[in-house]
Chain A
């Protein structure tokens, strides 16, 4: 008989920790509230309020004339954002996805007659029709002003593009999911390690043959499993009860899961940092909020970051949650795969490298 020493399996010990920790998390009601109930409440609330405060994004065809009264009239309306840097192909695909609400092409002939060619999309019928009303108003103002001096009349020609309807839930759910993953990663991990330290559970582990790194992985794994489970529930409830769009069904869902695991692994690092910095449990919320709250507000959780003032947008462009939210939306609504959102994942991974480098420095076992 060989001695037992050679057969000791760190993996078995680690899985025992994961199982115990998972049981402990599930029985801890505040974890359930944070991970599941909060995001669901937001989804329900925002699922019923349709999005006010959104801008209407209008692409301007590259061949369009911009030196005319109609263009200037539209440009002066605050809620309309005229985008002039998109090319023909991009415009068409953005229009089908409902990321832009309409396209205009304004043509002026030699006699000065203006023709507005308007392309709206079924992907965004409400905002398309709001824009049509605004356009009509601008033109009729021009016409009255110009007609008195006997100048040419403006006419509209409209065409409607087929597209998927982009619902509020399609914007809100990925944002809530992203935020749920962030707060689970940061708060959950920080609380787990502080309380394991304080209740001496970790010290008792140290007296057994399991190695420190397997304790860490075992505990993190339980957090990961629980959060992914919450994510599944959030997506399913969104899909079944609020019509959340999963373009390619199961494939889209699986892509979202893979992305969630990557993002959560990065966010767990923030939790390690917080548990290292915080002296005790009561110090956790303030430090953790410092990480989560700005991202909650600025990372496009509730509003597209294009709605923010321009000076603020670069801040949003730094935050990791921004990239998770964007990537989740691209996957769920546009049917992108995990490889199509490589850029967002790259930024998340860069954050991961930074955060884990800090975590290694500040993490404490005792």
Chain B
């Protein structure tokens, strides 16, 4: 199919005797939000970093927009945006200065204020990265991924460690980015997040893909097999209670 923007075929990554990724294959289509789900240590980050050209693979094939990670690393880097699990920014620089830096790194001309506005940080232009809250740091991190107008962005556990308000705010941001035509590939170990945000998900464990489908289809399949929840399903969750009491308003600690 022509609209495949990411093609992964039989990807293997070994660290000595340890096989972190054990022959996984999947495709991501243009314009979708694809989630790679799995417990810690399942091989999500390794897979992502190979796609981001940050890590060498042992074998298999990875194509980003038809470009191979073996040969076209530099071309790939120009059309992708990368958000790493841990932040990597000069702690002493103001946000607008950091954006200037990334504009230089990508050879693009930008208006830092305009980009910061997209991620709701326009009032933080003269703040240093180290002064931001967890949610703000993540939003800033995502904002550095869209500087070069990428075709795909990779987000590695973007909402880990955030409070419910900040998570919802980030979901909104990710949807906005997708609406502008950017494909989003993310990892998470929050199932509610994947269910709400992702068009399709792949579930990965011990370096292998267990299944790939839309969240709805996966749930339907499970129900077809006769699965029943032990606890009575109620039409509200504890998180709904929490948000009802504390509001959806974003907190900046």
Q: Mark A23-67, 1 if CB is under 8 A from B, else 0.
A: 110011000000000000000000000000000000000000000
Asked if B39 is an interface residue, CB under 8 A from chain A, the answer is: no
Are B78 and A209 in contact, with the CB atoms below 8 A?
yes
* B248 CB → nearest A CB, Å: 31
Question: Which among A201, A206, A208 is the interface contact of B89 at CB below 8 angstroms?
Answer: A201
With contacts A207-B77, A207-B82, A209-B77 taken as known, whether A201 is within 8 angstroms of B90 at the C-beta atoms is yes
Are B54 and A16 in contact, with the CB atoms below 8 A?
no
* B18 CB → nearest A CB, Å: 17
* A16 CB → nearest B CB, Å: 2
Question: Which among A5, A17, A211 is the interface contact of B75 at CB below 8 angstroms?
Answer: A5
Q: Which residues on A are within 8 Å of B, measured CB to CB?
A: 4-5, 7-9, 12-13, 15-17, 19-21, 23-24, 27-28, 199-211
Are B92 and A204 in contact, with the CB atoms below 8 A?
no
Asked if B176 is an interface residue, CB under 8 A from chain A, the answer is: no
Question: Which among A9, A16, A202, A211 is the interface contact of B101 at CB below 8 angstroms?
Answer: A16
Are B88 and A12 in contact, with the CB atoms below 8 A?
no
Q: Mark B64-105, 1 if CB is under 8 A from A, else 0.
A: 000000000011011010101011111111000110111111
> Inter-chain contact count A-B, CB under 8 Å?
88
Residues of chain A with a CB closer than 8 A to B32's CB: none
Residues of chain B with a CB closer than 8 A to A4's CB: 78, 107
With contacts A4-B78, A19-B101 taken as known, whether A204 is within 8 angstroms of B107 at the C-beta atoms is no
Are A16 and B84 in contact, with the CB atoms below 8 A?
no
A201, B80: Cα distance in complex, Å: 18
A202, B144: Cα distance in complex, Å: 14
A200, B89: Cα distance in complex, Å: 7
With contacts A4-B78, A5-B75 taken as known, whether A207 is within 8 angstroms of B54 at the C-beta atoms is yes
Question: Which among A16, A28, A205 is the interface contact of B92 at CB below 8 angstroms?
Answer: A28
With contacts A4-B107, A204-B82 taken as known, whether A209 is within 8 angstroms of B101 at the C-beta atoms is no
With contacts A5-B78, A16-B100 taken as known, whether A210 is within 8 angstroms of B105 at the C-beta atoms is yes
With contacts A207-B52, A209-B78 taken as known, whether A201 is within 8 angstroms of B105 at the C-beta atoms is no
With contacts A204-B82, A206-B54 taken as known, whether A27 is within 8 angstroms of B92 at the C-beta atoms is yes
A12, B107: Cα distance in complex, Å: 7
* B203 CB → nearest A CB, Å: 26
Are A205 and B105 in contact, with the CB atoms below 8 A?
yes
Are A209 and B86 in contact, with the CB atoms below 8 A?
no
A3, B145: Cα distance in complex, Å: 20
Are A204 and B84 in contact, with the CB atoms below 8 A?
yes
* A117 CB → nearest B CB, Å: 65
A23, B77: Cα distance in complex, Å: 26
A208, B82: Cα distance in complex, Å: 8
A23, B90: Cα distance in complex, Å: 9
Give me 5 A-to-B residue pairs in the complex whose CB atoms sit less than 8 angstroms apart, sorted by A's number.
A12-B104, A17-B101, A203-B88, A206-B54, A207-B52
A280, B82: Cα distance in complex, Å: 26
A242, B84: Cα distance in complex, Å: 52
Most buried by B among A21, A27, A208: A208
B95-119 contacts to A (CB < 8 Å): 97-98, 100-107
With contacts A16-B104, A207-B54 taken as known, whether A23 is within 8 angstroms of B84 at the C-beta atoms is no
Residues of chain A with a CB closer than 8 A to B80's CB: 207
Question: Which among B74, B88, B97 is the interface contact of A204 at CB below 8 angstroms?
Answer: B88
* B242 CB → nearest A CB, Å: 32
Are A13 and B107 in contact, with the CB atoms below 8 A?
yes
* B88 CB → nearest A CB, Å: 3
Question: Which among A13, A16, A200, A210 is the interface contact of B88 at CB below 8 angstroms?
Answer: A200
Residues of chain B with a CB closer than 8 A to A17's CB: 101, 104-105
A15, B107: Cα distance in complex, Å: 11
B31-55 contacts to A (CB < 8 Å): 52-54
Residues of chain B with a CB closer than 8 A to A201's CB: 88-90
Q: Which B residue's beta carbon lies closest to that of A199?
A: B88
Q: A15-B104, A21-B90 are in contact. List 7 more A-B contacts (CB 8 A).
A: A7-B107, A16-B103, A23-B93, A27-B92, A199-B90, A203-B84, A209-B78
A286, B104: Cα distance in complex, Å: 36
Are B90 and A24 in contact, with the CB atoms below 8 A?
yes
Residues of chain A with a CB closer than 8 A to B93's CB: 20, 23-24, 27
A202, B74: Cα distance in complex, Å: 16
Question: Which among B75, B98, B102 is the interface contact of A208 at CB below 8 angstroms?
Answer: B102
With contacts A20-B93, A20-B97, A23-B93 taken as known, whether A208 is within 8 angstroms of B88 at the C-beta atoms is no
Q: Which B residue's beta carbon lies closest to that of A21?
A: B90
Residues of chain B with a CB closer than 8 A to A7's CB: 107
